[in-house]
Amino acid sequence: MLITINTDASWCPKEKCGGYAFWISSPWGKFKKWGKLRLNPLDSTAAEIMTMCNALSYVSKHKDLKGTTKIIFNTDSSWGIAYIEKGNKRVRQWDYPKNKFKSILKKMDVEVEFRDIKAHQRDITQPRLWVNAWADKMAKQGRKLK
């Protein structure tokens, strides 16, 4: 079963906190979740990778999504995609979320594809851009939760 996950994160450099949002489209319907990241990310890319971890963890635990064989991630974090796929020894603050992502992925045994989408588009008539705008808005709200 193929599912698509749209993710976005919000990070505040002053407060060093982040929020997340994801929207999952599957043959069994849509699943949405957003909130404050429990761990404080060191930067925006760490927050984006942590958001992808949250979505992946959600899929791994949801009974309706157990048959997933392929996941397409739509994200506006090209740095997050590059780091998960290739890594970078100079950027250590992203190691924990990347390793967590890979650990969850290994347990699930699914194929993953990443698609980089443009963020903050005015024309949100395309469904993918509309969902990204929703995720952006909800991640900001999640970041502000106490």
What number of CA atoms fall less than 13 Å from residue 131's CA on the CB side? 20
Cα(17)–Cα(131) distance, integer angstroms: 23
| Domain boundaries along the sequence of the chain | 2-143
Spatial contact of 121 and 74, defined as CB atoms under 8 Å apart: no
Q: What is the mean pLDDT of residues 52-78?
A: 94
Q: 53 pLDDT band (50/70/90 cuts)? A: very high
Prediction pTM value? 0.88
Q: 86 pLDDT band (50/70/90 cuts)? A: confident
pLDDT of residue 82: 86
Name the DSSP class of 126: S
DSSP 72-121: EEEES-HHHHHHHHH--TT-GGGHHHHHHHHHHHHHHT-EEEEEE--SS-
Residue-wise pLDDT for 97-118, tens only, equals 888 888 998 999 899 999 998 7
Query: 20 forms bridges with which residues in the sheet?
Result: 9, 35
Question: At a CB cut-off of 8 Å and minimum separation 6, what does 131 contact?
Answer: 6, 23, 74
Among 48, 60, 61, 40, residue whose Cα is nearest residue 22 = 48
Decide if pLDDT at 92 tops 70.
Answer: no
Q: What is the mean pLDDT of residues 25-52?
A: 94
Architecture of the structural domain at 2-143: 2-Layer Sandwich (3.30)
Q: 8 pLDDT band (50/70/90 cuts)? A: very high
Q: 95 pLDDT band (50/70/90 cuts)? A: confident
Q: What is the mean pLDDT of residues 121-143?
A: 82
pLDDT of residue 127: 66
